[in-house]
Copies of this chain bind each other. A is one copy, B any other.
Amino acid sequence: MISKVVEKMLGSRKNSYLIPADMVANVSESNHLNHALLVLTKVKYAKIPVLDKKQHIKGLLSLSMITDTMLGLNGIDPSHLTRLTVADVMDTEVPTIHQPYDIEEILHLLVNQPFLVVVDDDSLFKGIITRREVMKEVNYLAHELEKEYEVKPNPGYVKI
């Protein structure tokens, strides 16, 4: 359990965490890698969601998953890019959370993931929650905590 005050302050604008699906660049699992390389090069995000035709989340794709197919014994070889598809190289382990999500879960998962994929009950892609959005709320908490609350050392607290 996390502190109720922290939960309240970080969660007060909770919906603002979500970057909605239509604002997030994505690729289709059936796209060839030359197309995906173009998309990832241009959007500049390190990793983007992979969707099927019905907007279900299927995986995550980064540039390194694509460039890894180009490392040959005789240097950089792009010849596989027109043959392989996103499905061939994507990471299918996707850190997902469901709405309504809770702050404790978000904080915990974002230690090891730069962003979380939000899905509905039918696994449809709803958007992402990024460390960036949470960092904005942490700044808010850092500035406002001792304005909104009186904070005093707990006399009964024993540091373990």
Contacts and interface: CB of A to CB of B under 8 A. Distances in A.
A73 B38 CA distance: 12
A68 B142 CA distance: 39
B146 A4 contact: yes
Interface residues of A, number: 61
22 contacts: A3-B141, A3-B146, A6-B141, A6-B142, A37-B76, A38-B71, A41-B64, A41-B67, A41-B71, A42-B64, A44-B64, A63-B63, A70-B78, A75-B78, A111-B132, A111-B136, A134-B135, A134-B138, A148-B157, A149-B154, A150-B153, A150-B154
Count copies of this chain in the complex.
2
Interface string A40-62: 11101011000000000000001
A15 interface: no
A13 interface: no
Interface in A127-157: 131-132, 134-136, 138-139, 141-154, 157
A9 to B, nearest CB: 10
